[in-house]
Amino acid sequence: MPYRYGMAPPVRSIMAMNPTQGGEMVLLWRDDMSVGQADIDGDHRQLVALVNEFEAIARRLPEDRALHVALAGLRDAAAYHFSREEAILEACLCPDRDVHRQEHRALLDEIDAMIRRYFVERSERISKASLGGAAEFLRRWLIDHVIRRDLRISEHLDKLPAGFRLPD
């Protein structure tokens, strides 16, 4: 049964042990999180994988470069996804598209701030605790946003103009 927006499950209910990640808990993509638009659902699956990758790298506390690359890659993928999703929101004239766009901007701003604190200004020490907090924030934001905001897109997909194409 699909989630009703506004009723996000606890994050733990969409996590599972992953033997390939040393038995650590990872986010799982579930079909009931689908908005019904293949490109957007594919982007969401990729974002789940990138959050899991960042968390796995963060657990190992590798050199700064690997963490920076993982976080910057997540940021770039999110920005790309948001541009595509916002094109759909505009084309469908979704009523909450401005709030949706603001949430996207807020996440990108927070990831930019993490990159600045950890890798540019070095004002926050890289530790398991700080990276665990960053990973938890990213995990919760992604799941909460997909379930509480993005699932509403499915209600408006029938309003997409004929021949609509996502931007590259």
pLDDT tens by residue, 32-45 = 889 999 999 999 99
Within-domain flag for 19: yes
pLDDT score of 62: 67
Q: pLDDT tens digits, residue range 82-91? A: 999 999 999 9
Question: CA-to-CA distance for 17 and 49, rounded, in angstroms?
Answer: 14
CATH number for position 104: 1.20.120.50
Q: pLDDT tens digits, residue range 130-166? A: 888 999 999 999 999 998 899 999 999 988 888 888 8
Whether residue 70 is predicted with pLDDT greater than 50 in this model: the reply is yes
- The mean pLDDT of the chain is 84
Within-domain flag for 6: no
Whether residue 4 is predicted with pLDDT greater than 50 in this model: the reply is no
Asked whether the CA dihedral 155, 159, 162, 165 is positive or negative, the reply is negative
Region for 167 from its dihedrals, namely left if φ exceeds 0, alpha if ψ lies in -120 to 50, beta otherwise: beta
- CA distances for 141 relative to 11, 86, 90, 121, 146, angstroms: 10, 17, 22, 24, 8
Q: Are 32 and 3 in contact (CB under 8 A)?
A: yes
Beta bridge pairs of residue 27: 15
DSSP code of 2?
A: P
Domain count, the chain: 1
pLDDT score of 33: 87
* Residue 22, domain extent: 11-159
Q: Are 115 and 72 in contact (CB under 8 A)?
A: yes
Within-domain flag for 168: no
Within-domain flag for 150: yes
Within-domain flag for 164: no
